[in-house]
């Protein structure tokens, strides 16, 4: 009986070792591609934003070890129960039914694990909603089945972004069904606020390299944000089942330098960023302060000098008439 148990334990250890080796081996063979899926890869797409880095850390350093430990522990319990308490090894079953310390442990331990996960989960959730002051705003509207982008700060009207045809994608050596005819263009190192809505049905705006996904709901405007720290082209797509051509509305985001972004805005007929309400308020306050300081000086300059008393000229006395 002991030798059989040892054999099963060795077999289980061998299976786990082989699975682990295959897991990391496959990850090593597939070199990650930036901004798009990597064929044969099993890890998450590498990110270029702080949100994505935090999400990858939460998955790889918090969730994955906990899930692995729990899975191996449950597997070991199953093997132990199968070997130790089967009918052949244990023909007379035990009659006990409750174990209070054990029930307290298996109730309390999962609660503590969930509380530990919640600490990192709430922190990440807060980061997603704690958007810094945006440098520019892009409105993304989902249609059946394409995207429309508008830059209100730069006075760039909405333009349509469709999936790039296969022959053009092959000619340009870009991924088919991910590349678009008109990409969203943003400057590197800037906080970009994305206002997301839908024109007909529910869509979803998702770019894995940025770590963002937001529903595009008709009649509602949701918002998300990202700050890309690397120049490049990053792909996403709609993540809702929005209809028959759901798989054909990709998202392409090009992160460029500020000079290239300004040139792109000019090519779209846009101009300098429109002043925000805060900027207008600041300008009004500055103008008001300047007017306040200039008012006394202007009043002094406008006030006439004090007039000196005018000299009174009296007519010369008239000589009396001779009698």
Residue corresponding to tokens 């009004």: 284
Which DSSP letter does residue 85 get? S
Considering the domain architecture, whether residues 247 and 151 belong to the same structural domain is answered as yes
pTM of the model: 0.72
Task: Specify if 74 maps to a domain.
Answer: yes
| Token reading at 60 | 């790889």
Which of helix, strand or coil describes residue 196? strand
Considering the domain architecture, whether residues 60 and 166 belong to the same structural domain is answered as no
Residue that finishes a domain, picked among 247, 266, 285:
266
Overall domain count for the chain: 2
Task: Specify if 257 maps to a domain.
Answer: yes
Considering the domain architecture, whether residues 162 and 108 belong to the same structural domain is answered as no
Query: What does the alpha-carbon distance between residue 252 and residue 163 come to, in Å, rounded to a whole number?
Result: 9
Which of helix, strand or coil describes residue 244? coil
Considering the domain architecture, whether residues 125 and 161 belong to the same structural domain is answered as no
Tell me how far CA of residue 293 lies from CA of 31, 54, 104, 286, in angstroms.
Answer: 65, 50, 74, 11
Considering the domain architecture, whether residues 114 and 166 belong to the same structural domain is answered as no
Position 317 scores a pLDDT of 44
Considering the domain architecture, whether residues 81 and 164 belong to the same structural domain is answered as no
Rounded (5°) CA angle 181-183-189:
165
Tell me how far CA of residue 209 lies from CA of 4, 141, 160, 193, in angstroms.
Answer: 49, 20, 22, 16
Query: What does the alpha-carbon distance between residue 6 and residue 116 come to, in Å, rounded to a whole number?
Result: 35
Considering the domain architecture, whether residues 69 and 169 belong to the same structural domain is answered as no
Query: Smallest Cα–Cα separation from 209: which of 257, 252, 240?
Result: 252
Query: What does the alpha-carbon distance between residue 111 and residue 148 come to, in Å, rounded to a whole number?
Result: 45
Considering the domain architecture, whether residues 160 and 260 belong to the same structural domain is answered as yes
Residue that finishes a domain, picked among 216, 245, 266:
266
Strands (E) located in the chain: 136-143, 146-151, 156-161, 184-187, 192-198, 203-207, 212-216, 222-226, 232-238, 250-256
| Token reading at 30 | 């597939």
CATH of the domain at 123: 1.10.287.90
**Phi, psi values for residue 231, rounded to 5°:** -70, 140
Domain hosting residue 187, numbered range: 134-266
Which of helix, strand or coil describes residue 130? coil
Which of helix, strand or coil describes residue 242? coil
Considering the domain architecture, whether residues 78 and 161 belong to the same structural domain is answered as no
**Phi, psi values for residue 314, rounded to 5°:** -95, 145
Position 156 scores a pLDDT of 96
Considering the domain architecture, whether residues 124 and 143 belong to the same structural domain is answered as no
Task: Specify if 305 maps to a domain.
Answer: no
Considering the domain architecture, whether residues 175 and 188 belong to the same structural domain is answered as yes
Cis geometry, peptide bond prior to residue 313 (ω within 30 degrees of 0): no
How far separated are the first and last CA of the chain, in Å rounded? 172
Considering the domain architecture, whether residues 123 and 74 belong to the same structural domain is answered as yes
Would you write out the chain's pLDDT as a tens digit for each of its 323 residues?
444 445 545 554 555 455 555 444 444 445 788 999 998 888 899 999 999 999 999 999 999 999 999 999 999 999 999 998 888 888 888 787 888 998 999 999 999 999 999 999 999 999 999 999 999 999 999 999 999 999 999 999 999 999 999 999 999 999 999 999 999 999 999 999 999 999 999 999 999 999 999 999 999 999 999 999 999 999 999 999 999 999 999 999 999 999 999 999 999 998 766 555 545 555 566 666 555 555 554 445 545 444 444 444 444 444 444 43
Query: What does the alpha-carbon distance between residue 5 and residue 3 come to, in Å, rounded to a whole number?
Result: 5
């Amino acid at each position: 009986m002991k030798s059989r148990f040892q054999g099963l334990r060795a077999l289980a250890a061998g299976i786990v070792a082989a699975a682990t080796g295959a897991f990391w081996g496959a990850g090593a063979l597939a070199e990650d591609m930036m901004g798009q899926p990597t064929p044969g890869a099993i890890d998450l797409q590498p990110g270029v934003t702080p949100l994505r880095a935090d999400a990858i850390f939460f998955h790889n350093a918090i969730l994955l070890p906990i899930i692995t430990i729990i899975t191996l522990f449950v597997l070991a319990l199953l093997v132990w129960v199968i070997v130790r308490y089967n009918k052949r090894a244990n023909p007379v079953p035990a009659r006990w039914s409750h174990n209070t310390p054990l029930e307290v442990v298996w109730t309390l331990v999962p609660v503590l694990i969930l509380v530990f996960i919640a600490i990192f989960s709430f922190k990440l959730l807060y980061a997603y909603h704690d958007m810094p002051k945006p440098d520019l705003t892009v409105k993304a509207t989902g249609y059946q089945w394409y995207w429309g982008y508008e830059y209100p700060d730069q006075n760039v009207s909405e333009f349509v972004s469709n999936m790039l045809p296969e022959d053009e994608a092959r000619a340009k050596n870009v991924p088919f069904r991910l590349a678009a005819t008109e990409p969203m263009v943003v400057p590197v190192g800037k906080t970009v606020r994305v206002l997301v809505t839908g024109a007909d049905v529910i869509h979803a705006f998702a770019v894995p390299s940025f770590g963002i996904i937001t529903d595009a709901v008709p009649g509602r405007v949701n918002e998300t944000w990202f700050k890309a720290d690397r120049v490049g082209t990053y792909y996403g797509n709609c993540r809702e089942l929005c209809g028959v051509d759901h798989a054909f509305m990709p998202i392409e985001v090009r992160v460029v330098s500020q000079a290239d972004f300004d040139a792109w805005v000019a090519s779209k007929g846009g101009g300098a960023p429109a002043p925000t309400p805060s900027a207008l308020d600041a300008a009004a306050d500055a103008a008001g302060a300047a007017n306040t300081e200039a008012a006394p000086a202007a009043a002094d300059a406008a006030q006439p000098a004090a007039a000196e008393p005018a000299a009174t000229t009296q007519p010369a006395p008239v000589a009396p008439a001779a009698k």
